[in-house]
Structure 1
Amino acid sequence: MPAASSSRRQFLSLAALGAFAAACGRASASGGGGGKETGRIRYQGSAGQVTLPELAEDLGYLGDVKLEWVGNTISGPQDIQSAATGQTDVGGAFNGAVIKLIGAGAPVKSVISYYGVDQDAYSGYYVLADSPIRGPRDLIGKKVAMNTLGAHAEALLDIYLQRGGLSAAEIAKVEPTVLPPVNTEQALRQKQIEVAVLGGVLRDKALAAGGIRPLFSDFDLLGAFNAGTFVMTDRFLKQNPNTSRAFVTGVAKAIEWSRSTPKAEVIARSVEIVKRRGRNEDPAALQYWKSFGVAAPGGRVSDQDFQLWIDWLVSHGDIKAGQVKAGDLYSNAFNGFGGASSPAASPSASRS
């Protein structure tokens, strides 16, 4: 599909942000001046859910490093923008959005995978049980609700439509629509939209209620893959190497703890975290948690996590061939997880 066919279909316009973030990377005073490390990680959370950093802190895997919650977000591109411009110290997004951000000049690096796609952790595209929508061509003129544009959900929608034989002009008539994930199921049932993108606990909660059926999923299209990474600025990593290493390694250990621990125990601990942090959230959806979907041991990043999306972005004209190389986008230097044995056997009983 030519990139000019629809501006809303391009992954995030980040040229201006890249220049601004590069300036912030040179001038920011975020932590670590004079050899003293910050010892804290500012981050954004997700309403009603427990992020891997929050789980890692609760398990005692971050050591002396403290998390500082600055608010919630439903958008991966927004989250990594905040990290790139120094509003937070870490942000996570779909790897395609990370490529665009770095390609635009933002001085950030991916340091660990934090979500992926497998048979338990995937995003599905759902319609009402009695919907006439059965295939790609039926989506022309229909609203497809997702958490944000220019990221994972829109990329997979485009792939589905292309594989279904739709032309660029036809694809432009499909309407990706932004809705908060917690409201998407309700909007589908009230027929305000025709397709709802649902993942994780929100997907399983909606399926348990009945009355909806899957159209397709990202697992159907691409199989299992690591989908998103946390990024940190080059400046932060340089000025705060020990803080960064403690954070990344702690998240890696939390990934493995969640993988090796009975689901009921992971869920129970997550519910406790939500209740204890006092953000006026409903933890009910956590009962449907199954997996973070991270395939690589300890969330370690590899070229293959990016190459598919580099090729896709080049084909769409969003980046130029050779503009970015997969190996330059990430670093595993701060991930101290060895992978030989699970660190989950005896998590610290202390809680922050």
Structure 2
Amino acid sequence: MRVGRFRHAVAATTLLLATAACGTSQAGSVQKELRYQGSVGAVTFPELAEELGYLGDIKLKWVGNTTSGPQDIQSAATGQTDFGGAFNGAIVKLRAARAPIKAVIGYYGADEKSFSGYYVPEDSPIRTARDLIGKKIGVNTLGAHHEAVIKEYLTRAGLTPAEIERVQLVVVPPVNTEQALRQGQLDVGTLGGILKDKALERGGLRPLFTDTGLFGPFTAGSVVFREAFIADNPEIVRTFVTGFAKAVHWAQTRPREEVVAKFEQIINRRGRNEDPSTVRYWKSSGIAGPGGVIAAKEFQTWIDWLERSGDIRPGQVKADDVFTNAFNPYAGRSAS
């Protein structure tokens, strides 16, 4: 992300936060209903936790579906929802914009079963990072997971900042990425999950690189609350994170078939006019830490990257200020 675009986002976010502070404060209240955004055709871990009875007397209130991680955490930061989740680098950037948010648990990641790849047609002349100069790469959104992974790939390959600027990132809905790639509208397409699996089944594509190839298994995104909400409702947050963590652990340790069956059951019950078949392609949570425990390196990696790129000042954001494992019962079982 260019520095100018980032500064514009900072200004807009600061204004939104100021507006939210005037009208959405919940100081002194105890809240048992938590507003959130879901995802079409997918089950979030809070939804799984509620279905498994892990949230106690906390009720979830679905207010719609998110369009992206950055949008989801901005909704939480401005009080439109009570919690939201995004790529850890996006959380760092929002924190740098002085958003009073804190990550409390990891919710997605990449491993050998669940990862994102950056694919080209089999006959493409693109073989190395340097071949990407002047080319178009399709991503689902800017300023999030895929942009960070791509920029890291290019940096590790020795491209200069000026050369990296010449690699064009094009926002394409994930469902359209494969078609745009095959029709030559993109030189590289970002594919993950069911869309990746279906595209590879059809053949004719090869990976240029993958996120796990760069970083190994890692938790990539976390769920955040506003710090004021945590201060006013610590036991609600503790109950929520505990239930969330138990749901993550359940998915990490149960047979895949059992997890998929539960996801299908939840989607069929909630009545949002969705196709439950997509969850049949679920392979793993991708979350590295047991029960979603956050490791400091899962933020520090992106803090370092954002400092190198000039998006944040050195020392502007510290990992320990961005996240906490204090509410996660699995924290003692993993280094953080």
Q: After TM superposition, is the score higher than 0.5?
A: yes
Indicate the residue corresponding to 1:20 in structure 2: 15
Please report the RMSD computed on the Cα atoms of aligned residues, expressed in angstroms: 2.2
> How many residues get paired?
333
SS in 2 for 1:228: strand
Q: 2:126 aligned to 123, 130, 133, which one? A: 133
Counterpart AA for 2:11: A
Residue 52 of structure 2 corresponds to residue 59 of structure 1 = yes
Indicate the residue corresponding to 2:83 in structure 1: 90
User: Is the Cα–Cα contact under 8 Å of residues 114 and 228 in structure 1 kept in the other structure?
Assistant: yes
Counterpart AA for 1:177: V
Shift of 1:47: 1.5
Indicate the residue corresponding to 1:348 in structure 2: none
* Distance in 2 (alpha carbons) for counterparts of 1:11 and 1:228: 20
The alpha-carbon distance between structure 1 residues 99 and 56, as it changes in their structure 2 partners (threshold 3 A), is same
Indicate the residue corresponding to 2:106 in structure 1: 113
Q: 2:116 aligned to 98, 111, 123, which one? A: 123
Which string of whole-angstrom CA distances, capped at 9 and with x for unpartnered residues, describes residues 155-195 of structure 1? 11111122223232322222111122223223323333222
Indicate the residue corresponding to 1:77 in structure 2: 70
Using the TM superposition, name which of 94-103 and 207-216 deviates more. Answer: 207-216
User: Is the Cα–Cα contact under 8 Å of residues 242 and 327 in structure 2 kept in the other structure?
Assistant: yes
SS in 2 for 1:113: strand
Q: 2:285 aligned to 282, 292, 295, which one? A: 292
Indicate the residue corresponding to 1:218 in structure 2: 211
Indicate the residue corresponding to 1:203 in structure 2: 196
* Distance in 2 (alpha carbons) for counterparts of 1:20 and 1:335: 32
SS in 1 for 2:137: strand
Shift of 1:141: 2.5
Indicate the residue corresponding to 1:346 in structure 2: none
User: Is the Cα–Cα contact under 8 Å of residues 50 and 274 in structure 1 kept in the other structure?
Assistant: yes
* Distance in 1 (alpha carbons) for counterparts of 2:96 and 2:68: 19
* Distance in 2 (alpha carbons) for counterparts of 1:262 and 1:12: 46
TM-score computed with the length of structure 1 as normaliser: 0.87
User: Is the Cα–Cα contact under 8 Å of residues 3 and 311 in structure 2 kept in the other structure?
Assistant: no
Indicate the residue corresponding to 1:161 in structure 2: 154
* Distance in 2 (alpha carbons) for counterparts of 1:75 and 1:11: 17
The alpha-carbon distance between structure 1 residues 162 and 338, as it changes in their structure 2 partners (threshold 3 A), is closer
Structure 1 residue runs of 5 or longer lacking an equivalent are 341-352
* Distance in 1 (alpha carbons) for counterparts of 2:82 and 2:244: 15
* Distance in 1 (alpha carbons) for counterparts of 2:239 and 2:138: 37
Shift of 1:338: 6.4
Using the TM superposition, name which of 72-81 and 329-338 deviates more. Answer: 329-338
The alpha-carbon distance between structure 1 residues 11 and 163, as it changes in their structure 2 partners (threshold 3 A), is farther
Which string of whole-angstrom CA distances, capped at 9 and with x for unpartnered residues, describes residues 315-343 of structure 1? 11111111111111112222234677xxx
